[in-house]
Structure 1
């Protein structure tokens, strides 16, 4: 008697929902015939029969969610059904499809594992549709998994000369040799850090809008008087003031000691796009610098970053990171936190659009979108909204920004 259990189909699953059975008790089935559809957290997959025989029992009802290893179906295997005594490797490789076969010597039952070819349900379907036994197909992958290409390759080798198979000709895709870019240096370091951040921190992204109209007017007035100040300098100063009001976002989670460390320094990282990848020069002690000083340092560090001349200390100890991607044309994103910081904010494209002013008049405003990702272990959504509201108030009313610096 064959006992078919729910097994990990390669998605790292721990449980699955039984969607529907494709056979019923009493049905005669063939090797690799689909038995049941299972819903995982990513897809609906088919579990196929490892032998031919007759379905004798269905254990779990459709709609139920069960753990990996749960028995689903019992099959009385044909005597001539292809099965072999398992090696230890095979038992370890697929422990959740097992057969109970009568012992020829003692008459007692023993638990054995059928040899199971590794292949996705879709690959098995292609083989079945073309009357191919999946056991006859040789895997080209070192893991031993039979791919769709392996099935098509086998099919082409078996087809009769001058008798083309339309389905294969339609699906076959010519493979071109790809160009290669070395994955090392800054690019690899960025990948490692971003992966660590995304797999360590539960990210939540909050989106908002800021009216930049009044700030643009002040910039034009300063420019007319000979002072050219970048938007980034104002944004950084407003961020520092907001971080002082909401220090939870200028923090670091110390998991080992179960502590949230509220930093007393305000070192703002400036995400900068360069030919070598994303670099984050740091404006240290931003709270102690004037807007003019911040502006000069932003220009200097950006220039050094693009030239590849940043020194190590100029990229260290940031407590909060901002990314101004608006000039590149971005309208929205979900930025990845610069680990081990608690939050990152991205400023996107500013657009002219109709707005209603305080006098209930429809006027043209300059609206910038922003996205703020934060560590949900450390802060909550309501706090993030309050933080961006405070930031927006400073930018939309620049006189408040000036008053905070007195």
Structure 2
């Protein structure tokens, strides 16, 4: 079946989501948690349905000669679906982010004031070829009392649709209306464009994917956007860096999962450190099949490195390629990050506490590391449970966005007849 604009009605789906969000707001946290646990069981039970649909997407990917990294993000297995389910169970265990009294006080006239967390309402989620986002985003939305409209990329449309259909079957056996989870089953870009402008039905849009997708949402949406960012992450190896730490951190940040946004894409290395430790670095690069794109200084030191152009410094490779820049000092390293960084995750490896303190103070990014891998910029790794994205902006939320990022506040006033 070809999915086009003709067989979807985005506005009708948004209206249904808005109605469902009102029902969600009056459910207890126990009812929402029970629904998440049931969804986890249903996903594990019906995994074969999801895998059959995923195979259609994988076959399409093979025909289009998608990269290995892209296919890895797209590919599902029984084990990966079990991980999705466990993620829902983990989210269910987390503290309810809604209904929390952040502060309260009483005015001189006796009026009692409370500042309380409440759901955003309806979240529009626009993302690319990561079927796990379908489950993660749904779990976080429902846990926080929000309805969600999912618009995944066309390359994973069969997988995403099957996941949502399975979850809809599960929701029919819970207190949460299945209309609280909407999936736009269309490959037509016009369907996405419609979602951009539905301010009366959608409270916030969250784009998650490559730079072009995020830019398109930010530039064209009239609905408020919680902007996530691409990850051109840097590892700066200072002249006072411990050799073993530096190499282990670099290899982990580059090769653990090269296709994710918190993987390192650029190594900035102090020239003195490089001169003293080039043999150890070259050995590690070779053993881990890391292809270097280097500046003129690096080309003289590292065999088989290829010249880096301007595009390499800004590139999110999502592979085992890495750009390598040699610098004279910490100031040059920070300047390079300021020019090419995406405000995602940046790391310094050094035993010089003053240098580390300067780096952490001056580098503008959502997540900063001293002597640790950038791979920890992740909701699960930081104890948030599943994340809905990593915000690189400064308003409302920044960094890995877990449950608190999906709430706003209300001021509740209780009086005894006060007038002004």
**TM-score, length basis structure 1:** 0.22
Relative contact order: is structure 1 or structure 2 higher (C-alpha 8 Å, sep ≥ 6)?
Answer: 2
Which structure's residues are more often helix, by fraction? 2
**Larger gyration radius, structure 1 or structure 2:** 1
Compute the TM-score of the two structures, normalised by the length of structure 2.
0.22
Greater strand share, 1 or 2?
A: 1
